[in-house]
């Protein structure tokens, strides 16, 4: 019961040790000293709440918001003391906001519960009591032996025990975990691989010791001890033995595995952890504005309290004859009375803080984010992928980007590799019609048309075919002949690889005569010019980013032990002692200058004594439970030395479509582009030049190959000096990973100064964490620029998470970048539409929304403050409590919400074709202090006009009714409120540039609704209301012609100055955006425009106008979604204008 309660409350007891011991089939030792470890059950819980904690947890999260907490305090004050307004006026809006948010979050969590129950209730088969037992997934315990059939997903993290294959191997795809669609091979230890039946597995006595759960998908450290008769056999367990929950079994009939991590301790669940919350600049501005308005509120409350006591200093006003004090009031403490009055004024003016702002902003962000997914311009037809939004909190941040950090491979390039050239034994080769041809020889020349391979060429190609992680479609490896027909002609093999480079190299080798035909058990099969050879795979030394290479140790058909190694030239050439090292280095640099991706290939022969020593060291390192990675790294370095260099490969990765145009558009928009890549210096520079990141006329500065702080600092000082001397021309900077580490260690400020004065920066040979460090460095600089990172691979995740906005490319390197990004697009070229159109619109919309909310609340509450001067600061309210409650919820909420969803201040096609317009909104231009001050002053001005306009027109003795009857307090307040509702709604209409029928409906509908509601509210005696001060007030007001005249006059007086200011600024000091708006307005055609043209041209225009009207109808609902038609619309407009 206690454990259940702890789980419900979200507590998870910490693990007591660094490792866990698992007894397979839960056969625990019989001696009394054994204390069983406690493990999590197999339930997946992605939900945030339970039935028990929903209310307290949700309320706690909501009241952490300043505005919500503030209104709660005001509501409690209204309950505790005698205040001028009912507690309902604060309580109802607060209840509405809290309820709407709770319902939204509760519904989302209910959907998560529903999905969890579906997963947890899935049927599984477990080996128990000598047979297979069907149970639910949530009932699996650590130690259970689970059977999984073909195409099923693994219900927990399992250590593979056996499969239907003799060697105990199986194939899985981890697409749902990391997006990689290639088949991965997993193998069981030999002692359990032979146990292929339930009966044999039930007799297995074995213990697994492994690390406690961790989130890294590619790391697993453990060992299995199998008891066979009198001996115990210990075998290492690594990632190749672990089948992850969520992965799917492929090309294997069935497997048996033992559950080692279950439920929320599986690696899939540990990767659920939420990313750090990113906050947009607009949200930070909003909080600053709230604090300013809170200060205004406190000032008004304190001033009113002081003036009240100053007024009451005169005895005749302290206790007038019509309002005598009670005995209790006369004897009460003056300090307490002062505090009570202060709180009462605080309650009276509290609506200056817009409580509904947060919920409106949330709705705007959530609903507005759908436009990105609906945008046809962001849909990639070839891959059937559309843009996706992972977080809607940062929409407006897309309009504020100042720096773009981009990966190269798969982001700027296609990540589709084509083999182009190679260097073998110091000679360059090219592939010509399926043959390797030395450079300088044509296919027709005697040496160019060869049907055999030289020894060095064949060894090089065999190294390519053996040193990789490529898989072959299982359907092609079945049968005796494998992929070869009886006549000896090869059928096309379908290769799967996690790395496109490896796939391109293996395919190239197969075309020139050395074909990798698959694996069989622990053997790799190769056909060299039709002759089959079988190599026994002894060890795989996996690739890691630190070593930057991978190796295999194989036994050749002759029994020789060979090591084949493949990796970056910086990690292979220094470890090579023989071969054509100098010539190969020159060839690698030449390949890189052509923009090719390079790999070096080497090998080593082992004597029996050397191999025995290596096997012993590897076994010790792989069975270690502590510091396994460090020990393996030491052993790998010991093995991969004294290499004989075979050659190098050059693979081309072509640029994506419209990359050059996109980078140029970003530059015109005032956005600086930094390319961060792991590629070598020459390759990266070549690609930067070809994609337009570096211009041919640009002065390229270099900070590369520095080994010490002093040389790095000296070079930085020289670069800074050169930039100052040649300040006229543009500069580009190239920096490599090692120099960057030195520069950031002690010369950070100087490095940043150099970078900021460069138009483009290229960082090569970058480790993933270095990418994140560069982003953080710029993000935290004194200017605090808004950064955007874009990439497609797992090595870009840290950079994407670090930047203000992270964008994942749906590429060929898995889905890690997409899963960890804020937005995901299929191609780099879509970035321009995402920033220049969607970013522009989102920013303009939310900037206006936030400031308009503050404006209309200043308009709302300032007359209440002014009214106190006319009622001796008696805290008499100007408006009825129902109007106080419904002003923000009903009367003025919809026009601004619809504006914030549909507004387009400039045509999308104009925004995309003129990137310079992006500069008009950069650096939070529309939500800075000046615009905020303008809206606030405008709000105070309108409020003064509302109040004093109504007061002057009504006067002290003015009769506005035909029978000579005068208006009273509530009629005056209703007149002010009516003028205010019409003015603030019309002000929103003035700000709207893009009108749809929805805008018209909510704008004019809000005013009509106010009049209809007021007539019903004041025209009927409602039995559930204690007092009805407003009875017949509104009807009486509208029956006066003078009141109608006052309403029209005051509304025109308020808006006239605003309209005049807009007209003057637009014609005298127009911004680039306003010029674009005027251009759009000029080309907006009408029937009258055509009528003025000669008849011969009018006929041509009429056919175009009919199409325009069709386009306008279809784009009314989703203006961003119909951007393809929008382009056609704009093009036709421009064509008509030119005619």
Which positions are catalytic?
407
In sequence order, what E strands does 737-812 have?
760-764, 787-791, 805-809
Please name the helix (run of DSSP H) or strand (run of DSSP E) that holds residue 388, with its range, or none: strand 388-389
**How is residue 748 written in tokens?**
């950070």
Which DSSP state fits 272? T
Degrees (nearest 5) of the Cα angle 72, 940, 77?
20
Pair 1003, 943: CB distance under 8 Å: no
Other beta carbons within 10 angstroms of residue 204's beta carbon come to 21
CA gap 313, 37 in Å, rounded: 77
Q: For residue 574, count CB atoms less than 10 angstroms from its CB and return exposed for 0-12, middle for 13-18, buried for 19 or more.
A: exposed
Q: For residue 815, count CB atoms less than 10 angstroms from its CB and return exposed for 0-12, middle for 13-18, buried for 19 or more.
A: buried
Other beta carbons within 10 angstroms of residue 1065's beta carbon come to 12
Token pair 């699996």: residue: 140
Pair 979, 950: CB distance under 8 Å: yes
Pair 623, 223: CB distance under 8 Å: yes
Beta bridge partners, 20, equal: 210
Kindly give, in sequence order, each residue whose CB lies less than 8 Å from that of residue 622, ignoring residues fewer than 6 positions away.
Answer: 236, 238, 628, 632
Pair 878, 374: CB distance under 8 Å: no
Closest CA to 905 of 1056, 1062, 1054: 1062
Pair 527, 484: CB distance under 8 Å: yes
CA gap 502, 509 in Å, rounded: 11
CA 133 to each of CA 139, 140, 339, 921, 959: distance values in angstroms, whole numbers, following the listed order: 11, 11, 72, 64, 91
Pair 970, 1029: CB distance under 8 Å: yes
Pair 611, 599: CB distance under 8 Å: no
3-state SS track over 661-682: HHHHHHHHCCCEEEEECCCCHH
Beta bridge partners, 515, equal: 527
Closest CA to 134 of 142, 146, 143: 146
Q: In this structure, what are the phi and psi dihedrals at residue 561, rounded to the nearest 5 degrees?
A: -95, 125
**How is residue 947 written in tokens?**
């109040």
Token pair 């109608």: residue: 1044
CA gap 434, 509 in Å, rounded: 9
Termini Cα distance of the chain: 82
**Does the CA dihedral 797-800-802-806 come out positive or negative?**
negative
CA gap 87, 75 in Å, rounded: 6
Pair 672, 759: CB distance under 8 Å: yes
Closest CA to 250 of 411, 448, 472, 47: 472
Kindly give, in sequence order, each residue whose CB lies less than 8 Å from that of residue 190, ignoring residues fewer than 6 positions away.
Answer: 168, 235
Pair 732, 757: CB distance under 8 Å: no
CA gap 868, 564 in Å, rounded: 89
Q: Residue-wise over 48-58: b if at least 16 C-beta within 10 A, else e?
A: bbeeeebeebb
In three-state secondary structure terms, 30 is: coil
Pair 692, 659: CB distance under 8 Å: yes
């Amino acid at each position: 019961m206690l454990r259940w309660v702890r789980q419900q409350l979200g507590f998870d007891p910490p693990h007591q040790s660094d490792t866990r011991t698992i007894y397979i089939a839960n056969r625990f030792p019989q001696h009394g000293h054994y204390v069983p470890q406690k493990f999590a059950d197999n339930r997946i819980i992605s939900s945030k709440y339970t039935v028990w904690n929903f209310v307290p947890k949700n309320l706690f999260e909501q009241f952490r918001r300043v505005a919500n907490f503030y209104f709660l305090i005001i509501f409690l004050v209204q309950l505790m003391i005698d205040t001028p307004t009912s507690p309902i006026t604060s309580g109802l809006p607060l209840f509405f906001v809290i309820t709407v948010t709770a319902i939204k979050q509760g519904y989302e969590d209910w959907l998560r519960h529903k999905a969890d129950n579906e997963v947890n209730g899935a049927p599984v088969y477990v080996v128990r009591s000598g047979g297979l037992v069907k149970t639910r997934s949530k009932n699996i315990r650590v130690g259970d032996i689970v059977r999984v059939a073909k195409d099923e997903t693994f219900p927990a993290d399992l250590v593979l025990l056996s499969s239907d294959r003799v060697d105990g191997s199986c194939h899985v795809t981890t697409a749902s975990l990391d997006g990689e669609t290639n088949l991965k091979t997993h193998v069981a230890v030999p002692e359990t691989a032979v146990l292929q039946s339930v009966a044999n597995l039930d007799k297995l006595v074995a213990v697994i010791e492994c690390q406690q759960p961790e989130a890294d998908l590619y790391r697993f450290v453990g060992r299995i001890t199998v008891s066979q008769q009198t001996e115990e056999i210990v075998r290492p367990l690594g990632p190749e033995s672990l089948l992850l929950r969520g992965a799917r079994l492929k090309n294997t009939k069935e497997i048996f595995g033992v559950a080692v991590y279950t439920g929320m301790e599986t690696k899939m669940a540990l990767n659920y952890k939420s990313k750090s919350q990113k906050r947009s600049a607009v949200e930070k501005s909003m909080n600053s504005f709230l604090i300013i308005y809170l200060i205004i509120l406190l000032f008004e409350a304190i001033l009113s309290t002081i003036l009240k006591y100053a007024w009451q200093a005169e005895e005749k006003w302290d206790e007038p004859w019509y309002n005598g004090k009670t005995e209790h009031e006369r004897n009460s403490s003056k300090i307490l009375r002062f505090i009570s009055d202060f709180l009462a004024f605080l309650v009276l003016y509290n609506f200056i803080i817009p409580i509904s702002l947060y919920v409106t902003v949330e709705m705007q962000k959530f609903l507005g984010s759908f436009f990105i997914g609906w945008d046809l311009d962001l849909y990639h037809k070839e891959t059937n992928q559309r843009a996706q939004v992972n977080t809607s909190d940062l929409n407006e941040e897309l309009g504020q980007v100042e720096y773009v950090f981009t990966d190269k491979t798969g982001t700027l390039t296609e990540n589709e590799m084509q083999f182009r050239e190679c260097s073998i034994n110091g000679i360059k080769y090219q592939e010509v019609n399926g043959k390797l041809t030395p450079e300088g020889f044509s296919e027709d020349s005697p040496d160019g048309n060869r049907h055999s391979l030289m020894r060095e060429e064949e060894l090089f190609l065999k190294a390519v075919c053996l040193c990789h992680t490529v898989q072959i479609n299982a359907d092609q490896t079945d049968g005796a002949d494998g992929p070869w027909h009886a006549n000896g002609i090869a059928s096309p093999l379908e290769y799967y690889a996690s790395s496109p480079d490896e796939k391109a190299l293996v395919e190239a080798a197969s075309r020139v005569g050395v074909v990798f035909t698959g694996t069989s058990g622990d053997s790799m099969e190769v056909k060299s010019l039709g002759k089959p050879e079988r190599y026994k795979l002894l060890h795989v030394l996996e690739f890691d980013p630190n070593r930057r290479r991978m190796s295999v140790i194989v036994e050749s058909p002759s029994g020789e032990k060979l090591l084949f190694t493949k990796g970056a030239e910086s990690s292979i050439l220094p470890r090579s002692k023989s071969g054509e090292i100098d010539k190969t280095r020159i060839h690698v640099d030449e390949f890189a200058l052509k923009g090719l991706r390079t790999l070096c290939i080497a090998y080593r022969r082992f004597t029996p004594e050397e191999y025995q020593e290596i096997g012993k060291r590897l076994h010790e390192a792989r069975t270690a439970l502590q510091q396994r990675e460090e020990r393996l790294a030491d052993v790998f370095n010991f093995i991969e030395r004294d290499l004989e260099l075979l050659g190098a490969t050059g693979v081309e990765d072509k640029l994506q479509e419209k990359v050059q145009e996109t980078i140029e558009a970003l530059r015109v928009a005032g956005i600086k582009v930094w390319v961060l890549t792991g590629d070598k210096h020459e390759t990266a520079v070549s690609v930067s030049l070809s994609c337009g990141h570096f211009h041919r006329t640009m002065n390229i500065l270099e900070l590369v190959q520095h080994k010490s702080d002093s040389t790095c600092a000296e070079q930085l000082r020289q670069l800074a000096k050169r930039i100052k001397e040649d300040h006229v021309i543009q500069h580009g900077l190239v920096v490599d990973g090692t120099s960057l580490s030195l520069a950031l260690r002690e010369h950070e400020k100087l490095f940043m100064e150099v970078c900021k004065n460069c138009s483009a920066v290229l960082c090569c040979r970058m480790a993933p964490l270095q990418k994140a460090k560069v982003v953080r460095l710029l993000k935290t600089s004194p200017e605090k620029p808004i950064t955007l990172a874009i990439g497609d691979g797992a090595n870009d995740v840290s950079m994407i998470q670090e930047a203000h906005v992270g964008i994942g490319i749906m590429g060929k390197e898995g889905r890690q970048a997409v899963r960890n990004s804020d937005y995901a697009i299929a191609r780099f070229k879509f970035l321009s539409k995402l920033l220049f159109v969607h970013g522009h619109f989102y920013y303009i919309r939310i900037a206006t929304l936030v400031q308009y909310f503050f404006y209309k609340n200043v308009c709302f509450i300032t007359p209440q403050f002014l009214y106190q001067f006319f009622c001796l600061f008696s805290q008499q309210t100007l408006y009825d409590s129902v109007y106080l409650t419904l002003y923000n919820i009903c009367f003025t909420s919809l026009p601004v919400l619809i504006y914030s969803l549909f507004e387009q201040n400039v045509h999308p096609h104009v925004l995309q074709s003129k990137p310079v317009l992006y500069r008009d909104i950069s650096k939070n231009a529309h939500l800075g202090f000046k615009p905020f001050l303008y809206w606030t002053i405008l709000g105070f001005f309108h409020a003064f006009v509302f109040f004093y306009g109504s007061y002057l027109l009504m006067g002290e003795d003015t009769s506005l009714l035909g029978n000579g009857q005068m208006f009273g307090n509530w009629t005056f307040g209703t007149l002010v409120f009516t003028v205010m509702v019409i003015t603030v709604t019309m002000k929103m209409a003035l700000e709207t540039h893009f009108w749809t029928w929805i805008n018209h409906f909510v704008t004019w509908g809000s005013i009509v609704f106010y009049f209809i509601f007021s007539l019903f509210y004041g025209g009927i005696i409602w039995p559930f209301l204690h007092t009805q001060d407003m009875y017949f007030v509104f009807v009486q007001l509208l029956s006066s012609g003078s009141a109608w005249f006052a309403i029209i006059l005051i509304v025109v007086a308020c808006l006239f100055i605003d309209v005049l200011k807009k007209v003057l600024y637009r014609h005298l000091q127009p911004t680039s955006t306003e010029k674009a708006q005027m251009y759009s307005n000029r080309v907006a055609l009408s029937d009258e425009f055509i009528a003025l043209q000669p008849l011969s041209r009018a006929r041509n225009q009429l056919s175009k106008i009919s199409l325009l009207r069709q386009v306008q109808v279809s784009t009314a609902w989703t203006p961003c979604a119909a951007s393809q038609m929008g382009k056609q619309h704009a093009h036709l407009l421009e064509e008509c204008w030119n005619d």
